[in-house]
Amino acid sequence: DAGITQSPRHKVTETGTPVTLRCHQTENHRYMYWYRQDPGHGLRLIHYSYGVKDTDKGEVSDGYSVSRSKTEDFLLTLESATSSQTSVYFCAISSGTGVITEAFFGQGTRLTVV
């Protein structure tokens, strides 16, 4: 498996609190992504990054922000958690220079907002 670690693996938080999920990779891959997985919706792209300090919005970015200050770390922040953000969050990485290649996924983070 590619060296990609998500933390925490599980989290329960209260509505209105900020939450940060961390994705750490040891592969030195350029591209990193955050997805959420919900029944009936598949994997939806939240934000992605093509390099340090180079991020962009995905399909469902409202209520989320990201930061990438180092190649190996990609942080996802829920600024004020809502129950609709209860989900399983996956980080993914891919290599490639100018072309999209296979994505390797982390183990996922199960977030529950109560």
Partner 1 sequence: GENVEQHPSTLSVQEGDSAVIKCTYSDSASNYFPWYKQELGKRPQLIIDIRSNVGEKKDQRIAVTLNKTAKHFSLHITETQPEDSAVYFCAVEIYFGTGTSLTVIP
- With CB under 8 A as the contact rule, the residue among 10, 14, 40, 98 that binds partner 1 is 40
Restricted to residues 48-87, the positions that interact with partner 1 (CB under 8 A) are: 48, 58-59
Minimum CB distance to partner 1, residue 61 (Å): 10
Residue with token string 């955050």: 34
Query: Which residue stretch of 15-23, 38-46, 62-70, 71-79 sits at the interface with partner 1 (rule: CB under 8 A)?
Result: 38-46
Query: Which residue stretch of 14-22, 64-72, 74-82, 93-101 sits at the interface with partner 1 (rule: CB under 8 A)?
Result: 93-101
DSSP string, 18-46: -EEEEEEESS--SEEEEEEEETTTEEEEE
64: left (phi over 0), alpha (psi -120 to 50) or beta: beta
